[in-house]
Structure 1
C-alpha cells in the first residue's frame, strides 16, 4: 500500500500535473480526495438520501415497511451499484477469452457480515455493543430512533451466520455438486431468482431463466437461507442495506463516519492509518484490475512504467515445481487420493493454470474501461482542464462522485455478462492486490496477487528458497484445495462431476478428523465447512512448502549447515531450516490477541496460532530443526499426517 502511494507521486513527477481523463488519473483523484475527506459534512442525510433513492430505499430511515415484492429490485439495485451483498455474495466470473459469447459464470457464495467483522475486531464486544454500533451508524442520516431497527439487523446477521454452519449429520454426507440450475434453488412467492439476476445484469435482457446454471461456493448456506426470504424479514433487510451502504461509503462521509473506516475492508494493515487503508480499498473497488496493474508496476526497487516479468517467470517455475512435488506424492500412493482416483487427480493438477496478478498494461485497461462507460453518466468527465483550473468533480458532493464511479465500475462488471467483445478485466478475480492470498476458481485458474512478493521486490529480484514458506504458500494452498473436499465436485476437465471414490473420501475424512482432534473444541453448535477444509489444507501445505524449500536448497548445495547471523535479537545464528520456519510463522500469524482469537472461535474460524502451530507440530522437520523433546507440545507422540 505504501508503494502504491509512492507510485502515484512518482507518476506525477514524471508526467507533470495530470490534466487528462483516464483511469489512472481518476484513481489518483479518488484516493487523494478520500484522504482529504476528514472534515465535517453538513448534510450527510441529503447526500445519502439521493443514493438511497437510486437503489429503491425511499423514505425516512429506518424504514417502517417495504411493499411485498419490492425486495427483489431493491437488493438487485444495491448489489449492482454498491455490491452491498446483504444476503449472499454474487459475482460474474470470466471463464474464457472474448469472442466466445456466454463465456461467463455466475458464482454465489455466503455473505460476510459486519456483525462477524465487528465482534472479531474488538475485545469485550458483544451483541449489545454491536446493536449500539448499528444504531449509531444509522443515526448518521436520520433523526429517528434507530434502536429497534438495529437490534433486528443484528438478529438478521446472526441468522445468516447460522446458515453457514453444518450439522454433524451434514458433515458425514458426501461432497455436493457446486453447479445448479436456478430452479434447483429455493423459490417462493416473495423471491424469484431470474427476476433478481435480470435486474442485476442489464445486459441479460431477460435471458436468465430457471434453467440458467450457477456455481454455489457454499451449498449448505443456500439450502438454509430460504427462511429469511418469506416476507417476514423484508423491512429489516432493506434497513440492513441502508446500514451497509453507509459503511461502504464511509471513506467519503467525513469525520462523523471516521469510526467506520476499518469496516470498509476485511484485512488489517497495522503499520498504516485507517483512512489511508480505507481510501486505497475504495480505489480498488472502483478500479479493480487497474489497481492490480498499478501494483505490478511497483514490483522493484525503482518503479517502472511498463510491467516487469521477472517475478512472473520465477513464480511460474515455483508453480510447476509445486505441481510436480504433489504429483509425485499422489503417484507414489502417499496422499489421501485412492488409486481409483489417481488418474483424475494427476490430470487435474496438470490442467490447472497459474496467473500472477494483473496481466494487461495501462493502455489496455484504459481502453476497456472507456468502452464500458454507460451512456447515462451524470457527472462531467474529469479531464479537459488547464493546469490551474479546478477539477470539475469538485463542483459535486464527494459521496455523489464516489457513487457515480461505483456505477461506472458496476456497468463494466455486471454487463460483461454474455458479451463476446468485452475484455472483462474486472471480472477476472475478486482477491485484493493489497495482501497476500490466492483465488482458486472452478475454471482451473489459480491467481496469486502481487502483494505476495511485495516485500521481496524491495530487497532482491530473486525469490530465495528460504522465503518459499511465505511466497509459495498461496499457490500451494490453491493446488491442495483443488484436490481437497471443495475440489472433489469439479473434475480434471473442470466440469461439475463428483470424482472422489469412497476410498478417497474415507482417507480424507480420517485425516481431517485427526487434525480436528488437535484443535480446541468449538465454542458453539455446528461447524464451518470452510474452516475444516482450511485446517486440512494448512497441514498438507506445511510439509509441501518444506519439501519445496529443501529440494531447492539441496540443488543449490546450501544444506542445513548455512547460517544467518543476527536473525534473532540476541544475535544467535539460525540454520536455514529455522529461518524457513520463522518466515512461515511470520507470514501466517496475525496481530490479534488472545481474547480476539476466542471471539473468532465463536464464529468457527480457526485463529492464527492454531493454523501455524498445529501444522508445525505434525511436521517432524520442525521438531528436528528446533531440537524439540519427544512428548512436548511441538513433538507429539501421535501426529496427524496428510502425506504418508
Structure 2
C-alpha cells in the first residue's frame, strides 16, 4: 500500500480484504459510424415505431442522463463507451491538479464543498468543549491549514522519532524500533495488525503482510523497460532531494538514496506479485510465535508483540513467509547505518504533508512522474482528505445530517433487497452448478450483511488528544491511537458494526471475511443515486454497483469464503473447475484489451473486478425487469429522452464510467490496480450480454457483439 491515498480509492486493511469499485478509464478514438436513433422497441435501434409496433407514450424528459453527452456519430453497437459519453469526454478535459477526470470527481467536488464548510466552521470555533469531536476536528484541520507554522517548525516535532532511530545500535534496539514504526504507520519493512482469522471468522488474529516499498509496485524496482526506469530515476531524485532538505550535502544525500533503493530492491525481489497476492490460501500461513521466531529470528517477534500489547498471541498468520525470511536476513546482513537510513526515509516520507512545504513539494514532483498530474491540489483539499482519513466518523455525523436522508437510505435498502432476490434466482436456475453447491451459495447470499449510509455505532475518539500546537504531532498521535484501537480488538468478540470507509467516501466495498457489502452515504447521491430519476437509471448506476459488490462474494476470490466469512472450499470439485473455466474466458477477453500502444490489461490481476462487473450487471438487469413488470405490467414501457428503460439502464451504467485519464496514470493503473480501465469496464460486460444487443438492435459482426463461441457466461 502506498502512503498516499485518495478519497475515492478503496482501501485494503491488514488481513481484511475490502474489494471495491474505483474506476478509471481513457477515451478511445471515436468511430465515424452513424448511430441509429433509439426507439421503444428492444429488438431494433432504427427509427420510431411503425404500425406493426405497439404504440408507446410520447417521449418525456428524464433525470439522470444528459443526452447532450452522447456522441451520436458513433454507433452504440460499435463503441458504446464513445456513444454513451463521447461528447462529455471531449468537453471535460482533466484539470491540472488531477490525473483523471470523471463523474466521481464531479461528485467529489460537490461533496468536498460541503465538507469544507463543516471543517471551516469547526476550525473557527475556538471555544468548542475540550475533548469533544468538534474540538478535535476543528483543531486537526486548523493545524494542518497553518502552513506558516509548519514551515517555522521544520523538523522540530519529528526530532524525537528521528533521535530514536539514530540511537539504534544493536539488533535488539532495532527490533524495538521496528515495533514502534508499526504504531507510527510508516510502512517500514512490513505491516502487522489485527483482523478476523480468515479460517475462523469468530476470532481475531494477528496478521503480518509484506510491505516496505517506497514506489507503488515491486516491478518498478525490477523491470528495465523505459517506464520503470523513468519512475526509478524520479524516485532516486526524490530521495536525494529529501535527504538534502534534512541537511545532508549532495554526496551524502545521494549515498543515502542509493542505500534505500538497494535495500528496497531486496524487499521487492522477495515480494509476491499483485496477481500472486490474489490467492487467499497462499497468503494464509498460520504458525506459532515460536515457529515464526525460528523462521524469522532477527525480527524479534516476542519483543514486537509484547511492545505492541499483543503478547497474549500464541499464533500469528504470515502472509508471505519467503518475504519475512528475507526481511530477517536484511536485518542481519545489511549495515546498521543503511537500515537506519531506510527507517528515517520511511518515517519522513510518510509525514511529508505535515512538514515544511519543500517536503510535500518533493513528494508531489515524484507523484507527477507517476500520474502526469500538472499541479498539486490546493492545501484545503489535501487537509480535508487527511481529516476524513483520521477523524472521518467524527465529522461524518455532521455530514450525514446534511447530505443523507432516511428516505434515500430506505430506497437503497429496497434496491439491495431486489438485487439479492435476483441473485438468488440466478443461482437457483444456474445450469452448470450442482445442488449441494447451490445450497451453500444461497446460504452465503442469505447471510450477506448490508450496511447503508453510516455506522450504527460511531467511533469513540475520546482517548485521542488533538490540539492546534502542531499538525505533525496530531498526525503521529492519531496514527498511534488508531494502532492501539486495532490491537485492542485481539482477544475480544468480532466487531461487526465497524466500517472500513467513512460516511462521505464516494465508493463501496465487499469484505469476504465479514461477508458484508458497505455503501457510504457519499456514494448515494447523484449521479450514482438519484431518488428523482427513473428506476432504469438508478438500477444502471448505483444498482450496478450494488450488484458488483454483491457478486464479489462469488468472484474468483470471494467464492473461496463461506457464509460465515471463513476461508473454506464449499464447492464440489466439478463445480469449482467449471467456474474456473468460465472465469478464464473473461480473463482472456480482458487481457486482449490494449488502451495504449504495447500496454495490455492484466486479465489475471483484474479478474475479480471484471467478474463482479459482468455478473453484477447481469443480475441487476434481471432485477430491473421485475421492477418494470411490477410498475407497468403489460402496458407499453415509456420513452424517456427518446430511450427505452433498457437502453437507459445501459446508458446509466456506461455514463458513470466515462473518464479521461493521463497516459502516465493509465500505465500505473494497468500495473497496480485490480480494476480495468473504465472503457473496458463499460464495454467488457456488454459485449457478452444478449440483453444489450436486444436493447440497441446490435447484430453479429458489430464490434460490441462477441461471437457466440467467444462469449462468457457465469450467472
| Common fold by TM > 0.5 | yes
Q: Which residue of 1 aligns with 2:645?
A: 576
Q: Kindly report which structure 2 residues correspond to 1:277-316, keeping only aligned pairs within 5 A, or say none.
A: 277-300=381-404, 308-316=405-413
Determine the structure 2 residue equivalent to 1:127. 232
Structure 2 partner of 1:74: 177
Q: Partner residue of 1:418? A: 491
Equivalent-residue separation in structure 1 for 2:301 and 2:600 (angstroms):
31
Q: Deviations over 1:520-568 (max 9, x none)?
A: 3698999796533223223222322333333323322299954443xxx
Q: Distance in 2 between matches of 1:23 and 1:449?
A: 20
Partners in 1 of 2:514 and 2:691 — Cα distance? Answer: 35
Is 1:356 the equivalent of 2:452?
A: yes
- Seen in structure 2, the aligned counterparts of structure 1 residues 482 and 106 have a Cα distance that, compared at 3 Å, is farther
Are positions 1:557 and 2:632 aligned together? yes
| Structure 1 equivalent of residue 476 of structure 2 | 403
Q: Tell me how far apart the structure 2 counterparts of residues 562 and 124 of structure 1 sit (CA, whole Å).
A: 56
Confirm or deny: 8 A CA contact 1:466 1:579 kept in the other structure: yes
The residue number in structure 1 matching 2:358 is 256
Equivalent-residue separation in structure 2 for 1:313 and 1:338 (angstroms): 35
Shift of 1:207: 0.6
- Pair 1:174–1:258, CA change in 2 (3 A): closer
In structure 2, do the counterparts of structure 1 residues 228 and 490 end up closer, same or farther at CA, with 3 Å as the change threshold?
same
* CA distance in structure 1 between the partners assigned to 2:119 and 2:532 by the alignment: 22
Task: Give the Cα–Cα distance (whole angstroms) in 1 for the partners of residues 663 and 455 of structure 2.
Answer: 40
Please give the alpha-carbon distance, in whole angstroms, between the structure 1 residues aligned to 2:538 and 2:268: 36
| Pair 1:180 & 2:251 matched | no
| Equivalent in 314, 331, 344 of residue 242 of structure 1 | 344
Give the one of 203, 228, 234 matched to 2:327: 228
| Aligned residue in 2 for 1:275 | 379
Residues 394-446 of structure 1 show CA distances to partners (whole Å, capped at 9, x for unaligned) of 4x3432233234333433343343357x9897x54257842212131403233
Q: Secondary structure at the match of 2:344?
A: helix
CA deviation vs aligned residue, 1:48-104 (integer Å, no higher than 9, x gap): 222334xx4226xxxxx86334444323212213x2233444443479xxxxxx964
Cα 1:576–1:353 change in 2 (3 A) is: same
Secondary structure at the counterpart of residue 556 of structure 1: helix
Q: Which residue of 2 aligns with 1:146?
A: 253
Q: What secondary structure is seen at the aligned counterpart in 2 of 1:418?
A: coil
Please report how far the alpha carbon of residue 454 of structure 1 lies from its aligned counterpart in structure 2 after TM superposition.
3.4
Q: Alignment RMSD, CA only?
A: 4.4
Tell me, in whole angstroms, the C-alpha distance in 1 between the residues paired with 2:304 and 2:428: 46
- 1:37 alignment partner, one of 134, 137, 147: 147
**Is this contact kept in 2: 1:37–1:254, CA < 8 A?**
yes
Aligned to 1:386: none
Work out whether residues 113 and 157 of structure 1, in 8 Å CA contact, stay in contact via their aligned partners in 2: yes
Q: Which residue of 2 aligns with 1:378?
A: none
Matches within 5 A, 1:542-621: 542-557=617-632, 561-565=637-641, 573-603=642-672, 605=674, 606-621=676-691
Matched residues in 2 for 1:185 and 1:526: separation?
37
Is 1:437 matched up with 2:471? no
Conservation of the 8 A alpha-carbon contact between 2:555 and 2:608: yes
Helix, strand or coil at the partner of 1:630: coil
Report the Cα distance in structure 2 between the residues aligned to 1:560 and 1:51, rounded to whole angstroms.
Answer: 70
**Equivalent residue for 2:704?**
634
**CA deviation string 1:148-202 (max 9, x = no partner):** 433444455556566332789x99x9955847345576822212445433333x2
* Distance in 2 separating the partners of 1:619 and 1:142: 61
Three-state SS of the structure 1 residue aligned to 2:517 is strand
| C-alpha separation in 2, matches of 1:284 and 1:399 | 16
Per the alignment, do residues 428 and 603 of structure 1 end up closer, same or farther by CA in structure 2, a change over 3 Å counting?
A: closer
Q: CA deviation at 1:352?
A: 1.4
Looking at structure 1, the residues matched to 603 and 209 of structure 2 have their Cα atoms a distance apart, in angstroms, of: 14
Match of 1:342 among 438, 461, 477: 438
What do residues 116-162 of structure 1 show as CA deviations (whole Å, max 9, x unaligned)?
A: 28999x99942111221232234332325333433444455556566
User: TM-score scaled by structure 1?
Assistant: 0.75
| Structure 2 segments unaligned to the other structure (5+ residues) | 1-111, 221-226
**2-structure distance, mates of 1:529, 1:234:** 38
Q: What secondary structure, in the 3-state scheme, does the structure 1 residue paired with 2:656 have?
A: helix
Question: SS of the counterpart of 2:616?
Answer: helix
Q: Is the 8 A contact 1:118 1:130 kept in 2?
A: no
- Cα 1:182/1:544, change in 2 over 3 Å: farther
Within the alignment, does 1:116 sit opposite 2:116 as a pair? Answer: no
**CA offsets per residue over residues 438-487 of structure 1, 9 Å max, x none?**
13140323322222213369964788441233323444333222223323
Report if aligned partners of 2:396, 2:502 keep a CA contact under 8 Å in 1. no
TM-score by length of 2: 0.69
Whole-Å separation in 1 of the counterparts to 2:301 and 2:543: 40
Q: 1:637 to 1:291 in 2, by over 3 A?
A: farther
**C-alpha deviation, 1:348, in angstroms:** 1.0
Aligned pair in 2 of structure 1 residues 465, 471: CA closer, same or farther (>3 Å)? same
Q: Which of 180, 189, 198 in structure 1 is aligned with 2:306? A: 198
Write the distance in 1 (CA, Å) between the matches of 2:679 and 2:342: 34
**C-alpha separation between the residues in 1 aligned to 2:301 and 2:207?**
13
- 1:349 is displaced (CA, Å) by 1.0
Shift of 1:256: 1.3
Q: Distance in 2 between matches of 1:112 and 1:589?
A: 34
Write the mapping of 1:466-615 to structure 2, written as runs, cut at 5 A: 466-520=537-591, 530-557=605-632, 561-565=637-641, 573-603=642-672, 605=674, 606-615=676-685
**Which aligned pairs between 1:362-401 and structure 2 lie closer than 5 A?**
365=459, 368-370=460-462, 372-373=463-464, 393-394=467-468, 396-401=469-474
Separation in 1, partners of 2:129, 2:443: 52
8 Å contact from structure 2 (residues 123, 141) kept in 1? no
Which residue of structure 2 lines up, in the alignment, with residue 568 of structure 1?
A: none
Q: Determine helix, strand or coil for the equivalent of 1:57.
A: helix
Q: Cα offset for 1:346?
A: 1.0
Aligned pair partner of 1:318 in 395, 399, 415: 415
Structure 1 residues 317-326 or 470-479, which shifts more? 470-479
Q: Is the 8 A contact 1:489 1:498 kept in 2?
A: yes
